[in-house]
Amino acid sequence: MTIKIINTSNHDLPHYETEASAGMDLRASINNAITLQPLERSLVKTGLFIELPIGYEAQVRPRSGLAYKKGITVLNAPGTIDADYRGEIGVILVNLSNEPFTIENGERIAQLVIAKHERASWETVEVLSETVRGAGGFGSTGIQ
């Protein structure tokens, strides 16, 4: 699949690091470093604009290394970029650590995964089919 992209950053286009990678790293495209204090969040621009085909979305996900090592994650993970969105891709980062974290221009801040999706239509009914689980939720399938 080919996706149209505009790159106004001074960084290479996102790309797959390995043959089996599902995501491509997104890099910060910022004029000045951003320091996130503990529990602070910021919208970090990437300089990328994309045109997805209808039936696809781009998911913005945390980078596992950044989350594990630094406590930095994507606040609305996964963030969804719809096929009709034409604005700049921005990443809402949050610092869940106890230390300030500085984001520099070009830093890998998130992953972008392209995914096909379905559109659902609703059918109003009076009764749903029964299952073993039933209405149990919020940990009901595991050992407490």
Topology (CATH level 3) of domain 4-116 = Deoxyuridine 5'-Triphosphate Nucleotidohydrolase; Chain A (2.70.40)
> How is the chain split into domains, by residue range?
4-116
Per-residue pLDDT tens over the stretch 7-24: 999 999 999 999 999 999
Confidence of residue 143 (pLDDT cuts 50, 70, 90): low
E strand residue ranges, 28-77: 34-36, 41-45, 48-51, 56-61, 72-74
Which residues have CB under 8 Å from 118's CB, separation 6+? Answer: none
Per-residue pLDDT tens over the stretch 23-80: 999 999 999 999 999 999 999 999 999 999 999 999 999 999 999 999 999 999 999 9
Contact 73, 8 (CB under 8 A): no
Length of the chain, in residues: 144
Give me the mean pLDDT over the 127-144 stretch.
Answer: 79
> Distance between CA 22 and CA 127 in Å, rounded?
39
Q: Which residues pair with 87 in a beta bridge?
A: none
